[in-house]
Amino acid sequence: MDEQKLFSLLVDLHRDGARQGPGSEADTLRALALSGVDETGALRVADVGCGTGAAALVLAQQLPNARITAADLFQEFLDVLAERAAAAGVADRISTLAESMDALPLAPDSLDLLWSEGAIYNIGFANGLEVLRPHLRTGGVLAVSELTWLRPDPPEEIRDFWESQYPEIATAAEKIATLEGAGYDLLGYFTLSPSSWLDHYYGPTAQRLPAFRERHADEPEADELIAMEDREVALYRRFQDHYS
């Protein structure tokens, strides 16, 4: 499928979602607690690959004196985020930025906290660690979620699927070694639960599919995208013990 077509369909499918990847408010708060930041401080924060703002909105509520830059490739997601921020009364502390996370126009050493849920994979994990690090001040903290094998021996079917979709998939031990090699110290790590995938992400996405199908009734690319979604969810249901 043509990339522009795929992007426009993906944006249309996901714009109405509260989140565009696995995770939950509880996961965001758990990661924030692990980060050890002073939650009352005047923190400078960026949420990169923010989508419609799942993490940025939780951070804005939890960090009352923080200023948050929410960056994403797609202005359509940022428009939704801005509406949600206004409804939550935090719009004055969130600014949006339609830029790729590997070319952020942010000053070096400027961030206390850099957040990215379900998104750093878009520029590659190792590459992302490298290009994002200069934005962090000394002692600044990065929080990311990343696709990870939970065991070193995944069945061939799921290994082949993810290695074709995302060859950087690896175990947590390997990911942590990559982090340390890129100059980060590990503060904490946890695994997203099946509920964070199914109840918070795949389930709500599936509920939007009938309306999406109707909006794109004569477009074979939409059927193709739905088939891709269905396959990914079916694989997750079968092999959820092997990755998160």
Please choose, out of 44-52, 62-70, 133-141, 204-212, the segment that lies near ligand SAH by the rule CB under 6 A: 44-52
**Using CA atoms, how far apart are residues 210 and 226, in angstroms rounded to an integer?**
10
Please choose, out of 116-124, 135-143, 153-161, 166-174, the segment that lies near ligand SAH by the rule CB under 6 A: 116-124
Please choose, out of 36-44, 51-59, 124-132, 206-214, the segment that lies near ligand SAH by the rule CB under 6 A: 51-59
Considering the rule CB under 6 A, would residue 72 count as an interface residue with ligand SAH?
yes
For ligand SAH, which residue of 123, 144, 170, 222 counts as binding (CB under 6 A)? Answer: 123
Considering the rule CB under 6 A, would residue 195 count as an interface residue with ligand SAH?
no
Please choose, out of 69-77, 162-170, 172-180, 230-238, the segment that lies near ligand SAH by the rule CB under 6 A: 69-77
For ligand SAH, which residue of 63, 66, 81, 101 counts as binding (CB under 6 A)? Answer: 101
Considering the rule CB under 6 A, would residue 49 count as an interface residue with ligand SAH?
yes
Which of 235, 157, 147, 158 is closest to 191 using CA atoms?
A: 147
Which of 3, 12, 17, 1 is closest to 199 using CA atoms?
A: 17
> Judged by CB, which is closer to ligand SAH: 77, or 212?
77
> Judged by CB, which is closer to ligand SAH: 54, or 158?
54
Considering the rule CB under 6 A, would residue 57 count as an interface residue with ligand SAH?
no
Considering the rule CB under 6 A, would residue 73 count as an interface residue with ligand SAH?
yes
Considering the rule CB under 6 A, would residue 100 count as an interface residue with ligand SAH?
yes
The residue of the chain with the least Cβ separation from ligand SAH equals 51
CA distances from 159 to 169, 170, 233, 240 (A): 9, 10, 15, 12
| Contact set with ligand SAH (CB under 6 A) | 19-21, 23, 48-51, 54-55, 71-74, 77, 100-101, 117-119, 122-123
